[in-house]
Every structure is written in C-alpha cells, then in structure tokens.
C-alpha cells in the first residue's frame, strides 16, 4: 500500500474511493484464487491423524490427494466451501485496511512536526503504527465473516449449516453475538505486527 506522504504531488495521489476500490478488487481476486487452498488448510488443521502417506488412518496426506478426495466425495464445488463469507471477509478487510491506512497516515503526518516528515525513522514509525492500526480495525470488523467461513469449511456430512445466512442465524441464536468474535484476541495479536510490517 502507498499511504500518505507529505511530498506526494496531489495529481499522483489516489482518491479515497480509488483506494477503496483497489482494496475491494484485490480482495475479491485474491480470495477467489486462494479459496481452495484455504479449504485444504482447514481440513489439514482439523485432521487429528498425522499427515503422512504411510499413516493408514489419516484421510488426507498431501495437497493433490486431499483435493482429489474432497472432489470425489463432495464435488468440485466443495473446494469453494465458505467462499461467500470469505469474499465478505476479503472485501471488508481490504476496503477497511486500504482506506484506513491512507486516512491514518495522512492524519499522522499532519500531527507530527514538519521537520520529522523527511526522516526515515518517522516514516517507518508512521507506516508501522498506521499499518498495525488499520490491520487491527479491518480484522475486528471482518472477523464475523472469518468465523462463519471457518465453520462452513470445517463441517463435514451431514451438514449443520446450509449456507452463510443459516450459519449466522444459528450461531446468534445458540451462542449469542460473542460467537462471531471467537478468536479475536489471538487474531489481533497476529495481525497487528504483521500489518505494520507488511505495509
């Protein structure tokens, strides 16, 4: 991401709408391409048996074998299980992170003394701090999509949830609003330094 830098020429900067669109589009394409890998990752994480070919009881022991098994047993669409909440996750996350990072860096450079604007240290600090904040904000808002996606991908047969809406409804009814934020603390502990470093 670019962020706001005081030396940028006005005609070189994107508008907030352009940043929002960039975040949404990048999130949509990345998620669509990566969803099968996410399904495989979650299946491997949930498998209790060792992931080795010679282990007789493990269902999955390699990426291609796992993908073939899932396709044979559940159909090729199952590699995109949880795709709609995953798209909601990516769209929400991308939109909020791109836009908030831009806004936060702009505000930060208006707050810090002007003589610090050119220093490498202040740029690193502002970039890390604003990146961590934007990642934290985006993750907090998008986490319900992640929880629903994970539950859809993790369920086997017979299905507990018919679709994303049904999953959200059942979670709210049976577990309350807090169920949408399960795992928030470790998610934020992971994403804050990662987003700060990444941006």
Q: Rounded to an integer, what distance in angstroms lies between the CA atom of residue 38 and that of residue 186?
A: 19
CA angle 171, 174, 177 (to 5 degrees): 55
In tens digits, the chain (199 residues) has pLDDT values of 555 555 555 566 777 788 778 777 877 888 888 889 988 988 888 777 766 666 667 788 888 998 998 999 888 988 988 888 888 888 888 888 888 888 898 888 888 777 776 777 778 888 888 999 999 999 999 999 989 988 888 876 677 888 889 999 999 999 999 999 998 998 888 888 778 775 5
Number of Cβ within a 10 Å radius of residue 73:
11
Residues present in the chain in total:
199
CA dihedral 172, 175, 178, 180 (to 10 degrees): -60
- Whose tokens are 């502990």? That residue is 189
The whole model's pTM is what?
0.69
Residue 36: what pLDDT?
92
Contacts of 176 (CB under 8 A, 6+ apart): none
Asked if 44 and 66 touch (Cβ cutoff 8 Å), the reply is yes
Select from 134, 38, 136 the least CA-distant residue to 85. 38
Residue 181: what pLDDT?
92
Contacts of 78 (CB under 8 A, 6+ apart): 39, 70, 71
Asked if 109 and 6 touch (Cβ cutoff 8 Å), the reply is yes
The domain covering 10-198 belongs, at the CATH homologous superfamily level, to Mitochondrial carrier domain (1.50.40.10)
Q: Rounded to an integer, what distance in angstroms lies between the CA atom of residue 115 and that of residue 104?
A: 19
């Amino acid at each position: 991401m670019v962020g706001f830098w005081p030396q940028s020429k006005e005609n070189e900067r994107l508008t907030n709408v352009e940043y929002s669109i960039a975040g949404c589009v990048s999130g949509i394409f990345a998620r669509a391409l990566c969803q099968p890998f996410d399904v495989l990752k979650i299946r491997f994480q949930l498998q209790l048996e060792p992931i080795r070919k010679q282990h007789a009881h493990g269902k999955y022991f390699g990426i291609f074998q796992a993908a073939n098994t899932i396709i044979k047993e559940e159909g090729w669409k199952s590699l995109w299980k949880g795709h709609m909440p995953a798209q909601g996750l990516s769209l929400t996350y991308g939109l909020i992170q791109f836009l908030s990072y831009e806004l936060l860096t702009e505000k930060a450079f208006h707050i810090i003394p002007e003589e610090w604007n050119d220093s490498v240290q202040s740029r690193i600090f502002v970039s890390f701090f604003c990146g961590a904040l934007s990642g934290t904000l985006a993750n907090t808002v998008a986490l319900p999509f992640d929880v629903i996606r994970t539950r859809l991908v993790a369920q086997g047969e017979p299905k507990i949830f018919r679709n994303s809406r049904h999953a959200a409804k059942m979670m709210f009814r049976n577990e309350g609003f807090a169920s949408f934020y399960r795992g928030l603390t470790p998610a934020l502990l992971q994403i804050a330094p990662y987003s700060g470093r990444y941006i």
